[in-house]
Amino acid sequence: MTVPVRSLIPALLWRSAGFGTIWWAMTEGAAGTLGFGLLASAAAASASVALLPPPWPRPRLMALLRFVPFFLRQSIAGGADVVRRACAPRVPTAPALVAYPVAGMGATERVVFTLVVNLIPGTLSARLEDERLILHVIDRHLPVHAALQQLEERVAAVFGRAAGRGDGHTDRGTAGHADEETRPDGRMSP
């Protein structure tokens, strides 16, 4: 797919500014590195536009502002859960792999969902397989499916999509429930 040059210019400018800001912060604003920082920022922006050209879905500002506190709460809850399990080794675990359908998500939405899902206490993204995200859960008795649905709704709102619509998964059946265990060969049980 060819991208018009006029849509690349704003992307290059915004990304150059972003990479320049990162450079400035990393060098603590040292004036002696300005020239190299400009070149490095332009090169990084060019590479980033070549690897991930526009257009991208535009996040909805209000939904994004509502997502930030949710993200912070999940981060703290996930960290607290790890500390609790590390400090109290007798906390029961029942590890399993579960599947969650991601077919209706756009590429950017899927990446955000896959990364943020790791903050849900007791979960870790394992792989994407056949339009499903395979997750390792530390305890199959945790309410993982409900947490995943809530996360999907939040991420979908940020990208302007109603969760569960248009993706063929309005009724998720058993997919994604935390009682799905793996077979000895590592594949999902039916």
Q: Give the residue extent of every domain in the chain.
A: 5-51, 61-158
| pTM of this structure | 0.63
> Residue 114 above 90 pLDDT?
yes
- Identify which of 70-74, 121-125, 126-130, 132-136 has the greatest average pLDDT: 132-136
88 pLDDT tier (thresholds 50, 70, 90): confident
Q: What is the pLDDT of residue 66?
A: 92
Q: Which residues contact 40 (CB under 8 A, 6 or more apart)?
A: 19, 23
Q: Quick one: which of 73, 25, 14, 77 has its CA closest to 48?
A: 14
Q: Is the peptide bond before 55 cis (omega within 30 degrees of 0)?
A: yes
Contact 148, 117 (CB under 8 A): yes
Q: How far apart are CA 90 and CA 185, in angstroms?
A: 28
Torsion of CA 119, 120, 125, 129, to 10 degrees: -140
146-175 average pLDDT score = 70
Contact 137, 98 (CB under 8 A): yes
Q: What is the pLDDT of residue 77?
A: 87
Q: What is the pLDDT of residue 132?
A: 94
